Amino acid sequence: MPRAGDIRDFRLEDGGVSLSLLNLGCITRGWWVPLGGASVPVVLGFDDLADYLHNPTYMGVIAGRVANRIGGARFVLNGQDHRLTANEGANQLHGGAGGLHSRIWQAETDGVRAVRFSYRSPDGEEGFPGKADIEVTVRLSGSRVNYDMRARVDRPTPINLAQHSYYSLGVPQTSRNAHFTCPADRLTPVDSALIPTGDIAPVMGTRHDYRAGAVLAEADPDGMGTDLNLVTPEDRDPALPVAELLAPNGLRLRMWSDQPGLQVYTGHMLPNLRGAHLGQHIAPWAGIALEPQGFPNAVNCPSFPSIIVTPDQPYRQRLTVEIMEILQ
């Protein structure tokens, strides 16, 4: 298991924007942007690196090998039954207790504004077949952070990575007070354990229709919270954001992704935690996780886009997140 002394902190800066990255879990520990002459933290995180050794909320991690949930912690591939380690009841969440979030990655700077992380996941780790060489390059460019995620494998196996920051945008209860827009026209319904049923349903007529944009509290007046995969249109313009979040303080987040799904988790189940960055309070609704990825439980739902990667077809995901102050 990792120890506090194993954790390294990499700092990137550009134009008043600062980014902190850890080799533990490929974590985005902190992101600070200019706002009204001050520097404001815009993702939830801890000041003490040791606090990340116990990180049950997956704060800032790259989740995988397979992010999100796999029902029954098992799947069949090419006629072979694969049993995974279960870490959420009978199911697996975010690659299991020993997933990518809990591992020390190799890390090296790539120029002055990027860090390249790599990790070799051995055959059988958390039950997944085959060896996977995973690489994530995180690059800061002005107000934008780019995540370039790749994986090469030696046999067919599922790969579905997700960047898991909780965006706070410098305001209390972001997941209630911010205005959220997403072009998703469908969603993947889930059962009581949050496992997708295999169906794909329209968002129209539900509280998850954000195509025209809505303040999150107004879309969810009863405070039920959201932890659900939204399906973006297959013919959408890739130059347009897959998500936009506007905070009352004038900070705006825009996100671009090449993935078919966007998991939206409003952080309503976040516990009260001490040790947050100055100006933050980690508590329910304090941050919203917007996680582009393949569909959850895709390995058990034939109608979902496949997340099986092969030696001839390696994995690639590109994610860009921009956070900046805009004029009111």
- Catalytic residue numbers? 164, 291
Q: Which candidate, 238, 297, 227, places its Cα nearest to that of 264?
A: 227
Q: Which amino acid is at 132?
A: A
Put residue 205 in one of left, alpha, beta given phi > 0 → left and psi -120 to 50 → alpha.
left
